């Protein structure tokens, strides 16, 4: 399992905005935001559902992980997606521990657990 998700019945834009706010409340900055719907339309002319990818970063945690393993940057930032699925909106956050296990580093695993707890709180509180 790579994602922790929750479904909502409210408006897509409302859920997206609440997700951004809850990320900030937990100390995450959104380094990038990708509007998948807009990008697919512009690049290949395909109509797609509302779908955004929020690249969330907790600077302290990122520094802790990158100080131990620079290659872990390949897995950063922590992605949170908000997308329309029929009549619902889904918010899903990466589960950092699933990826951190590959490092075999207990310190990285500890940091990943802290980040995972924060991301789960974000999803649960949206």
Does the pLDDT value for residue 41 go beyond 90?
yes
User: Is residue 2 very low, low, confident or very high in pLDDT (cuts 50, 70, 90)?
Assistant: confident
The pTM is what? 0.94
Task: Indicate whether 1 pLDDT > 80.
Answer: no
Q: How far is CA 87 from the centre of its chain?
A: 22
- Mean pLDDT over 69-78 rounds to 93
pLDDT tens profile 20-31 = 999 999 999 999
Other Cβ atoms closer than 10 A to 9 = 8
* Domain count for the chain: 1
The two tokens of residue 49 are 């559902």
Predicted pLDDT of residue 56: 98
* pLDDT tens per residue across span 42-65: 999 999 999 999 999 999 999 999
Assess whether pLDDT exceeds 80 at residue 69.
yes
Is 17 within 8 Å of 23 (Cβ atoms)? no
Residue 4: CB atoms within 10 A of its CB come to 19
Evaluated on CA atoms 69, 70, 74, 79, the torsion sign reads: positive
Which CATH number belongs to the domain containing residue 114 in this structure? 3.30.310.70
> What is the domain extent for residue 81?
3-125
Question: Which H or E element spans position 85?
Answer: strand 78-85
């Amino acid at each position: 399992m790579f994602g922790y998700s929750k479904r909502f019945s409210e408006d897509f834009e409302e859920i997206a905005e609440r997700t951004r706010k809850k990320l900030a409340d937990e100390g995450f900055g959104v380094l990038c935001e990708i509007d998948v719907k807009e990008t697919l339309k512009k690049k290949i002319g395909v109509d797609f559902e509302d779908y955004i990818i929020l690249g969330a970063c907790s600077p302290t945690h990122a520094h802790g992980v990158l100080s131990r393993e620079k290659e872990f940057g390949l897995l950063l930032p922590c992605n949170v997606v908000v997308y329309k699925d029929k009549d619902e909106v889904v918010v899903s956050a990466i589960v950092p521990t699933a990826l951190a296990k590959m490092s075999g580093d207990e310190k990285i695993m500890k940091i990943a657990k802290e980040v995972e707890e924060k991301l789960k709180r974000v999803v649960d509180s949206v």
